[in-house]
């Protein structure tokens, strides 16, 4: 999908978040190793915790990853048409609880997230990939404000939804449920979508031994990632998972290593109303009367190869 040396321009949009931070680490590692990706901008959105906190976490993560030269902008404080629902129970009050992180060594752009995203799209002489690992508010706002730039978006690789089930409710995954209207705009946009939903992300588990592999790397970045994973692992073990689900990293890994994933093209619609199914990503998996697909949906992966690539990415940081 994204070949070594291609340096394909990418915008990272998320709500760090332990798994957002690890997704960004993997994308940045590509710039130091196979050079498949070239991160042009990062945008923060309210989600796991408030926008102020996700923006501050983004500043600390970019500092840790040596990305202080990449422009970072604050985006939407709340969903397009709803109050923000956050998840401090999962990521802690700060949104990135666990290890002490470096204080920011970069400042926020004076542009809004939509203005920065539009600038990157306008200035790029090739299609830009948006990797969205939080609620889709910023991406939807970009599509609404700049329909003329739509064809400059190569793909939206998002973590969100699930064909078979939800996590925040039985039907809905958190990122989609926080802003279903935004997700509806994105899935109706006609932009190529790569959807890493819970069907794959809950199989992308980091197990105890894998956490120890990261710990054994023994670098400054490795120690922090190990502590993030330990935090995420302990929370998910408590609620019944076998390991730490690497939700957001799938949205990057599926671009870099598509050969380890199983993907099917489906027509996906977003339930924006309803009492029980609000925020559901309703995929048409029927063999007959199948609607024209609007998304490539990631359904499975080779977990061991996924973890090997994760370890490799962390080890790229000296
Ligand atoms: O449901 C998982 C998603 O919600 C991940 O993106 C996680 O970071 C949270 O935003
Ligand atoms: Ca996230």
- What is the predicted pLDDT for the residue at 1? 78
- What is the predicted pLDDT for the residue at 240? 96
| Residue 290 confidence (pLDDT) above 90 | no
- What is the predicted pLDDT for the residue at 96? 96
User: Is 44 close to ligand 1, i.e. is its CB under 6 Å away?
Assistant: no
Q: Is 265 exposed, middle or buried (0-12, 13-18, 19+ CB in 10 A)?
A: middle
| Residue 34 confidence (pLDDT) above 90 | yes
What is d(CA 278, CA 318) in angstroms, rounded to the nearest whole number?
A: 44
Task: Say what the pTM is.
Answer: 0.98
Scanning the structure block, which residue is given the tokens 């970009």? 142
User: Is 247 close to ligand 1, i.e. is its CB under 6 Å away?
Assistant: yes
Ligand in nearest proximity to the CA of 200: 1
Say if strands 261-270 and 281-284 run parallel, antiparallel, or are unpaired: antiparallel
User: Sorting pLDDT into bands at 50, 70 and 90, what band is 299?
Assistant: very high
What is d(CA 185, CA 187) in angstroms, rounded to the nearest whole number?
A: 6
| Residue 289 confidence (pLDDT) above 90 | no
- What is the predicted pLDDT for the residue at 216? 97
Task: Name the nearest CA neighbour of 82 among 41, 42, 37, 46.
Answer: 46
Instruction: For Cα atoms 74, 76, 81, give the angle at the middle one, nearest 5 degrees.
Output: 175
Cis before 17? omega within 30 = yes
Q: pLDDT by residue (tens digit) across 82-121? A: 999 998 888 999 999 999 999 999 999 999 999 999 999 9
Instruction: Give distance in angstroms: CA of 175 to centre of ligand 1.
Output: 6
Ligand in nearest proximity to the CA of 14: 2
What is d(CA 224, CA 218) in angstroms, rounded to the nearest whole number?
A: 10
Q: pLDDT by residue (tens digit) across 134-178? A: 999 999 999 999 999 999 999 999 999 999 999 999 999 999 999
Higher pLDDT, 287 or 135: 135
Q: Which atom of ligand 1 is nearest to the CA of 15?
A: 10
- What is the predicted pLDDT for the residue at 35? 95
9-315 is classed in which CATH architecture? Alpha-Beta Complex (3.90)
- What is the predicted pLDDT for the residue at 318? 85
Which residues participate in catalysis according to the annotation? 247
- What is the predicted pLDDT for the residue at 84? 94
Averaged pLDDT, 237-264: 97
Question: Whose CA is closest to atom 1 on ligand 1?
Answer: 174
User: Is 202 close to ligand 1, i.e. is its CB under 6 Å away?
Assistant: no
Domain ranges within the chain, ordered by starting residue: 9-315
Task: Name the nearest CA neighbour of 183 among 75, 191, 42.
Answer: 191
C-alpha distances out from residue 245 to 199, 249, 250, 274, 293, Å: 11, 9, 10, 28, 27
Ligand 1 pocket test, pick from 205, 248, 281 with the greatest ligand atom count within 8 Å of Cβ, gives 248
- What is the predicted pLDDT for the residue at 88? 86
């Amino acid at each position: 999908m994204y070949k070594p040396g291609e340096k394909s321009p990418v915008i990272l949009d998320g709500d760090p978040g332990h798994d957002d931070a690890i997704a960004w680490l993997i994308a940045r590692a590509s710039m130091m190793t196979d050079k498949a990706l070239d991160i042009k901008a990062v945008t923060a959105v309210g989600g796991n915790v408030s926008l102020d906190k996700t923006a501050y976490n983004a500043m600390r993560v970019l500092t840790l990853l040596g990305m202080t030269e990449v422009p970072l902008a604050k985006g939407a404080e709340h969903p397009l048409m709803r109050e923000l629902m956050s998840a401090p129970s999962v990521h802690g009050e700060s949104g990135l609880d666990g290890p002490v992180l470096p204080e920011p060594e970069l400042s926020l752009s004076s542009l809004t997230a939509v203005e920065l995203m539009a600038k990157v799209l306008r200035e790029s002489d090739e299609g830009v990939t948006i990797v969205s690992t939080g609620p889709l508010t910023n991406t939807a706002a970009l599509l609404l404000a700049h329909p003329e730039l739509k064809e400059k978006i190569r793909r939206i690789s998002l973590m969100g939804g699930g064909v078979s089930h939800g996590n925040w409710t039985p039907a809905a995954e958190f990122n989609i449920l926080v802003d279903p209207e935004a997700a509806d705009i994105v899935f109706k946009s006609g932009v190529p979508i790569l959807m890493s939903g819970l069907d794959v992300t809950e199989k992308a588990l980091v197990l105890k031994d894998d956490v120890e592999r990261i710990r054994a790397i023994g670098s400054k970045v490795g120690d922090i990632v190990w502590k993030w994973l330990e935090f995420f692992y302990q929370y998910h073990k408590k609620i019944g998972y076998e390991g730490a689900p690497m939700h957001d990293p799938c949205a990057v890994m599926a671009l870099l290593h598509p050969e380890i994933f199983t993907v099917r093209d489906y027509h996906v619609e977003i339930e924006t109303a309803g009492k029980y199914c609000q925020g559901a990503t309703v995929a048409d998996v029927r063999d007959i009367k199948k609607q024209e697909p609007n998304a490539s949906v990631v359904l499975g992966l080779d977990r061991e190869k996924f973890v090997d690539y994760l370890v490799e990415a962390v080890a790229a940081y000296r």
